Structure 1
C-alpha cells in the first residue's frame, strides 16, 4: 500500500462521522444544495464563497462537517457539479494501482484504477494526466485529472441521503 493510500485509509477510518442524518456539524442549510437524493456543499460560489484546500485538508474539512469529498458516481452528477463549480475542484478519488498514470504523456486520456475515499469503492476512471501528475483526482470543465495532492483546489463535499 503506498503512502497516500495509507494516509487516506487512516483519515477515512479514524475520523468518525457518527450518524450523519442527525449530525449537527453540517454547514448551514442555506449553504447546501440538494439534488437527486444527495446533499452537496460547494467551496466556491461566485461572489459568495471562495475556499481552496489541498486534497487531504479538503477531505478533513468535509469530515469535520459530517460529509465526504464527492464521489462522482454518474456522468450526470459529474456534469452537474462541473456546471455549478465552473472551476477545478477535488473529488474523493485517489490513485490506488497501475502504472498507466506514470507513463502517460501530458493531457493523455488514460484509464486506470482509482478509489473513491468517500465510498471505498475501487473504480476504473478515464482521466487526463496533468502537467504535474499526482495521485489525487480532481475535476474540471473538460474532465477528470490526476493532480498532486498538495495543489490548492476548490472542493465539493457530499452527504448521501439518509
Structure 2
C-alpha cells in the first residue's frame, strides 16, 4: 500500500493534532489558514485513510499512582515462526506491556512495561516465562527519570521538509 500523498497543510494539521488533540475544529482551521469546511474535509480524509488512528489523553501517572517504567530486551529460545507468534500472542495478554517492537540484530524484542512496582514487574516476567511463550533470556532496564518524551512524530523531518514547517 502506497503512502497517502500529503501536502503542507495536511502535515500542518497532523502536527497540530499530534500536540493538541483537543483543539477545536474552528481553531484548527484558523491555524492552518483554511475555512472550516475544507479543513474538516481534509481531517475526514486523513481519518478515513487511517493516517489519524485515534485521539487520546496523555496521563501523567506520577500524579495518580506509584509506578515504574521498565524496558526489557527479550531473546527467544529459537527463531521458528511459531515461537515468534507464541511470544507476540502472550505479550498481547498483558496490559502492563505498553509497547513491543520486533528487532533486527542481537535481541528479538524490545518491550516497554509500566507496572506499580518492581515486584509486580517480576511477577509479570515470571508469568510470561511460565506461559511457554518462548522467552529464553531477558534483560531489564529500569527508567530512573524521564528525560524526553514526544508523542508528536517529527513530521516535517520525515517528509523531507525544512525544520519548523509544521
TM-score range, shorter chain: under 0.3
Alignment TM-score, normalising by the size of structure 1: 0.23
Whose strand fraction is larger, Structure 1's or Structure 2's? 1
Whose helix fraction is larger, Structure 1's or Structure 2's? 2
